[in-house]
Chain A
Amino acid sequence: MKFLIRYHRREVTLRETLIRLFERSRSRGDPGSRWREEFWALRGINLAVQPGETVGVIGPNGSGKTTLLKTLAGILGADQGRVAVRGRVGCLLSFGVGFNPTLSGRENVYLNGSLLGLARRTIDARMDAIVEMSELGDFISAPVRTYSAGMRGRLGFAIAVHIDPDVLMLDEVLGVGDAAFRAKTGTILERFRRERKTVVIASHSMGLIRETCDRAVWLERGTIRLEGPPDEVVQAYLKTTEALGGGAARARRAQETDELRRRPIEARSLQRGAERFDDRSEARVRSVVEYYTLAQQRHLDEVRYRLGDALVKACSSPKDFLRLPGRLIALFFVGLRRRRERRRLEAPPAPRGSAPPGSEVFEKAPLAPHLGTGCDPRQTIFAAPPSGSRPRVAAILDEFSRACFAPECDLVTFRPDNWAHVLKTTGARLLLVESAWHGNDGAWQYRIASYGEHMGDEVLDLAACCTRNGVPTVFWNKEDPAHFDRFIRKAGVFDAVFTTDALCIPRYKEALGHGAVYALPFAAQPFLHNPLQREERRRQPCFAGAYYATRHEQRREDMHTLLRPAMRFGLDIYDRMHGAPPKERADFLFPEEYRPAVRGRLEYDDMVAAYKRYRVFLNVNSVVHSPTMFSRRVFELLACGTPVITTPSDGIANLLGANGVFVTHSEAETEAFLEKLLHDDDAWAEASALGIKKVLSEHTYAVRFAALCRAAGISMPEREDPLVSVTVAAEPGEDLGPVADCLRAQTYRRFEVHVFSDALPAAAEIDALRRKLGGAPVHHWPRTPAAQQSYRGFFDGAQGAIVCNLRAGFRYAEDYLADCVMFFRLPAVSMQGKACRFVADADGRIVPTGAECEHRMVRAAPSGTIAIVRPSLSPEALHTLLTHHTFTTPDDAIYSTYRYNCCEAPAQAAHAGGAPWTLRVRG
């Protein structure tokens, strides 16, 4: 018996029909655009049930159990193959759905009975038994709409049992909630067995299947995975579900399948014959889901979709009807533009230069200082440009890299079988492929790396097509040096190759025969990794990663150097291999001495939260001698403000210097570092701040992306550091000299100055300031006679994206403005200040205050430390900044940055003892 079901769209709407109409007329014969696909809920099923046999059907949600029963019962017709059932089929699939609510229970019994093929006389004869079993009593004459769900269920059950079927289909899955049903199921099944009736039952209750069935069938994604004695099948099934994480995996898969079904488009691609279920088909299913999400998003923007949409809308509301002509004209032009773009993409290749401009610089100095001065301001709210100005990048990335690059560019992703179509419709300025294991949510799994088992070379065609169309292609191997060989074959077809390990560059050059090979280390993405603090840090060290009991001997030695002393400080370990199958587990088991510290394993999202929960993290390096390659976690930790104690690594020393990282060579050294970082608050704060400053200013994905573009020869929209409007309130008779000195010393040069004064304009003062500052524009706003007027003048005249307020009584370090700009790169920071800062105490010593506010959102901070993005500044706020010591917001809107580079103290005091309040990145 073989059959299959095709799931169709549940509802055909006019909108879809219209869109399909356009779709069909345009892309006929284009195999790349499969907008409609089919979903086989069941396929290739061969099942013979003997008379008198009880067969149990098990499988995860969405595996096709109910569909199988419905097909067997003849409710669904098979699209292919044949179903033959001898005898009358009784069905209990859902409870009482088939009742007519306006008819009484009795009438419904007649209706159901006669639909099932019973003669009126027969129903008459059984009516009493049905009423008795359903326990409805006199309610049997009341309309069914007055019944409770339980009553309906009982009635349905009674009918199904009493129509005396030859074959009974029982879907226990849908009756889960009904206790009465559960209690009765066993006895009824027993009776049917005695009477030698045939039963097919779908259930999640393994006990029920084991006890009552003669045979069990395990369905998975519409095919029979295993069939045989119930005990064996149930055992095998349970084993898999547990290995997959039990309930979680079931739930996840159920959700995926549901998603597939809910797609308004029909879905295929689940057709699998006898092929065993493995990771690959899992990936394929996910790719299908991904594809439809993508397809839907993409289609929302397509001209033909919008055309259909406009027509449908015009039919549904008078307002839209009036707008229709305008929309049609607009769409016409959009269509013309798109067509031009398509033509341009399909045009023959332009002759290409040998090496992209700027590449040389990058090659010689993998991290040339000019790359590190700052990121693109676009990620922050003060200068988010329209997404259209970000370069569109076609990419094959693993999930994590995708999350990191997504804020930097307009990412387009695709699958091996639809890249041509996607690229044709969207276009791209750069092709970026990374050494992905599960590229684009698994769609490119086994297709980037070269394995013994060959999956497909679509990526070669993809790169060739881009090259033909003048789109530069770059490959980033983030797995160097360990997996150089796996990716070298694919890397060869790209214009430029980036590697995390600079030592691999000569190997690439030799293997590829060209010189476009550069280093591109990992980085941090401020959107994901930032110091914004939500909970307290524990005075404990933490280690996250795996322990290799059988490999990497050096690494194991190094780990002891780190972990042994840390145990005495209350170490927490998050073991990446925790909960792995026992077979593999042995190779990764932490030694006995560390096991009490193991806290389980964390998913990546929780990991980032854990970064901020500990004072110190420990890091061990597998690759020691690479000048650029080390764990990406180190960047992420530092960006989160967590200092790292690490075993030696050339890369860390080279890229990060001594900023927030502590290189240990022995257990004694580790112990000293731990002692210092866990118990000396000042030392910890400084290490944390240095790490933040170093990474956020030099090692973000924005910087990396800029480097990629430069090497690929793509002109980025010229990255501009935002202009800062510095506001200063000049007290009567006050000397502007200190302000001038402070501003002249700033490392950040793009600023303008606005001086507000209460006294009559002291022109000489302003001129002196102008002279001292050289080129920077200086504006003067006298606040007499009317302060409001001067503010209005400021709001009209100020050009800066950031307003930074300086006040007398504060000293500012030379990185003060640079820090302000840097902290605006964190997500959703529109005001910052230093609730935590250095002040002079009674004895004139400079001490930190408000440490509990550091990296948190606060209500108030001194006006002299406030910086605000221009759109958030109101005239009232400006007035407060200029006239009050403390600036207060109604809610916690101010991000309190680290304590450094600003000091609230008289000039003499501030510079006493070598200015401990300043902070500059080291080496």
Chain B
Amino acid sequence: MATIMRSIAELVSRWETIRFLVTSNLKAGHREKVLGHLWNLLDPLLFVAVYYVVFGLLFKQAERGQGTFVVYLAVGVLAWRFFDATVSQATLCIRANRGLIHEIRFPKAVFPVSVSLSRLYDFLWGLAVLLGIVLCTGFPLTAHVLWLLPLLVLNLVFAMGIAFFAAYLGAFFADTTNVAGVLLRLWMYASPTFYYARGEHALIPERFQGIYMMNPMACVLEGYRDALLWGRAPDPAMLLYMLAVSVTVLLAGFAVFTFGEGRFAKYI
């Protein structure tokens, strides 16, 4: 435990490094593109559009939702995208920085953390798009929108925890990326991203709802929708459950990662 605390302290002392990694990562991301930072907005917009065409129109989910579907879908897809991008990039982050790791000693945790924060930045743009959609489609925004903030933190904590695991495995097994891709896809289908999980149009039978909602990502998505779409406070029990799971995952992920850190240089 003392080791973990020391590692956390060391990580915190490198906040400048992390900030630098995040900004340089974001800068480098759009540097050579014609549309540049416009992609921050275009990306989530187009993404939602594609899903809307496929699931909303082709699979006729939109009819069921009676106008709520666009927002419902946008929340699910964009929040999921944040999680998905964080984890899949985390599997690569250690190997991608092989040179640095072989040359300098520093807490390697800066990589998964900076990956999570970079994707969070993207997601913030996504949220802006989302608010735009909400306003355009004429849904009233209530004070419950403020719930977004704690939900965002919980989402980040959980994603970062999984990212630590992914980065740890990715350092030892180059195959992690592929495995993670498949698992994430599966996870996505098990979460209410583009279909109704609860309520009158629910795809999930009532008796499975309990198990279904054990999925932390399901809680997060439903929480976002409560705040943005249905204009109500998220279920407190759900929030507490989320908090417990996210913190546990983050601590465990960080511990495992710290434990393996010293051996990375030998494997990559």
Residues of A at under 8 Å CB distance from B? Answer: 5-8, 10-12, 14, 70, 73-78, 89, 91, 93-94, 97-100, 102-103, 107, 110-112, 114-117, 119-120
Contact = CB atoms under 8 A, between A and B. Distances in A.
Contact of A73 (B16, B20, B99, B105): B105
B14 interface: yes
Interface stretch (B60-68, B138-146, B168-176, B225-233): B168-176
A7 B266 contact: yes
A8 B173 CA distance: 12
A70 B104 CA distance: 9
Given A77-B262, A100-B24, A110-B20, A115 B267 contact: no
27 contacts: A8-B266, A11-B174, A14-B175, A75-B101, A75-B103, A75-B104, A75-B265, A76-B265, A77-B262, A77-B265, A78-B262, A94-B102, A97-B99, A97-B102, A98-B99, A98-B100, A99-B99, A100-B24, A102-B31, A111-B17, A111-B24, A112-B100, A112-B104, A114-B14, A115-B100, A115-B104, A120-B20
B201 interface: no
Contacts of A5: 266
Contacts of A111: 17, 20-21, 24
B127 to A, nearest CB: 27
B38 interface: no
B31 A70 contact: no
Interface in B1-47: 13-14, 16-17, 20-21, 24, 28, 31
Contacts of A112: 100, 104
Contacts of B21: 111
Contacts of A10: 267
Contact of B174 (A12, A74, A76, A77): A12
Contacts of B20: 110-111, 114, 120
B106 interface: yes
Contact of B263 (A77, A94, A103, A115): A77
B265 A70 contact: yes
Contacts of A98: 99-100, 102-104
Contacts of A89: 105
B107 to A, nearest CB: 9
Nearest to B268: A10
Given A98-B99, A111-B20, A117-B106, 13 more contacts: A7-B266, A8-B263, A77-B262, A91-B104, A97-B99, A98-B104, A99-B99, A103-B28, A107-B24, A111-B21, A112-B104, A115-B104, A117-B14
A894 B24 CA distance: 71
Contacts of B17: 111, 114-115
B16 A74 contact: no
Query: Interface size bucket, B side?
Result: 20 to 34
Q: Which 5 A-B pairs have the closest CB atoms?
A: A77-B262, A74-B105, A97-B99, A98-B100, A114-B17
A572 B145 CA distance: 100
Contacts of B173: 12
A117 B173 CA distance: 29
B27 to A, nearest CB: 8
A48 B105 CA distance: 20
Nearest to A100: B24
A76 B100 contact: no
A102 B26 CA distance: 12
Interface string B64-105: 000000000000000000000000000000000001111111
B30 to A, nearest CB: 12
Nearest to B107: A115
B9 to A, nearest CB: 13
Contacts of A97: 99, 102-103
Given A6-B266, A12-B173, A115 B106 contact: yes
A114 B16 contact: yes
Contacts of A107: 24
A14 B176 CA distance: 12
A10 B98 CA distance: 12
Contact of B16 (A7, A93, A102, A119): A119
B174 to A, nearest CB: 7
A70 B105 CA distance: 9
A120 B266 contact: no
Contacts of B110: 115
A561 B99 CA distance: 69
A120 to B, nearest CB: 5
B24 A93 contact: no
Given A89-B105, A115-B17, A77 B261 contact: yes
Nearest to B106: A115
A75 B99 CA distance: 11
B84 to A, nearest CB: 23
Contacts of B100: 98, 112, 115
A73 B21 CA distance: 23
A89 B28 CA distance: 29
Contact of A103 (B14, B24, B102, B266): B24
Nearest to B261: A77
Contacts of B263: 8, 77
A158 to B, nearest CB: 14
A75 B16 contact: no
A114 B267 CA distance: 24
Given A12-B174, A93-B102, A97-B99, A120 B16 contact: yes
Contacts of B31: 102
Nearest to B172: A12
